[in-house]
């Protein structure tokens, strides 16, 4: 089975391909010739995932899935949330985003947060939605060289390491994206 993963983020494509069995081949947007940025203008993670999946299906005719992920920080009333990638501006700069978040939490003792991933799957003319969460907290400084986005400042519950310090095999067992992908996989296995 071939599915397009509607993302320009090659790190996400690699991470997700590692989670999927060999009989599911993931195509990136580049693989299908979609080089344009798909607008993420919804006010929810689910809305953005649906927008991206529908864009690819409508314009390119592929079965596909798209995700949107946000980091929701308790002390900031769920911010940065749906704006996580553009928290410090439209440049989608991870360093700037992390620095802004760390500064916003300087005087907060509650550092609890969770990542949430929503996946929208367009398959055989129908749409399905899956969700995964990873609970944890925001560290006071960046740690680790693996991963991407907010990984260097997110320490998942039950671990002393940040996502950026954990080996990819461990992160892929506990992450929000992994949990959503597992739900997607269970569904795809039931369909086949």
* Tokens, residue 63: 């079965």
Enclosing domain of residue 37 = 2-191
What DSSP letter does each residue of 96-159 carry, written as one string? HHHHHHHHHTTT-S--EEEEEEEEEEEETTEEEEEEEEEEEEE-SS---SSS-TTGGGEEETT-
What DSSP letter does each residue of 38-70 carry, written as one string? PP---SSHHHHHHHHHHHHHHHH---EEEEEEE
Residue 192 has pLDDT above 80, yes or no: no
Kind and range of the H or E run holding 119: strand 112-123
pTM score: 0.89
Instruction: Name the catalytic one among 68, 74, 151, 157.
Output: 68
Total number of domains constituting the chain: 1
Q: Mind listing the pLDDT tens digit for each residue in 50-76?
A: 999 999 999 999 999 999 999 999 999
We report the CATH number of the domain holding residue 13 as 3.90.950.10
Q: Is residue 68 flagged as an active site residue?
A: yes
């Amino acid at each position: 089975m071939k599915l397009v993963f509607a993302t320009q983020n090659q790190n996400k494509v690699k991470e997700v391909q590692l989670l999927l069995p060999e009989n599911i081949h993931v195509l990136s947007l580049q693989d299908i010739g979609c080089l344009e940025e798909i607008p993420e203008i919804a006010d929810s993670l689910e809305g953005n995932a649906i927008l991206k999946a529908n864009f690819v299906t409508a314009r390119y005719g592929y079965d596909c899935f798209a995700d949107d992920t946000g980091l929701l920080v308790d002390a900031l009333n769920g911010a940065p949330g749906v704006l996580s990638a553009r928290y410090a501006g439209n440049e989608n700069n991870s360093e700037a985003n992390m620095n802004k978040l760390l500064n916003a939490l300087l005087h907060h003792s509650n550092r609890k947060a969770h990542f949430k991933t929503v996946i929208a799957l367009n398959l055989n003319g129908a749409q399905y939605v899956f969700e995964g969460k990873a609970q944890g907290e925001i560290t006071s400084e960046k740690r680790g060289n693996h991963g991407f986005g907010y990984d260097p400042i997110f320490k998942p519950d039950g671990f002393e390491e940040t996502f950026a310090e954990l080996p990819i095999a461990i992160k892929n067992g506990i992450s929000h994206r992994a949990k959503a992908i597992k739900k997607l996989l269970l569904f795809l296995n039931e369909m086949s």
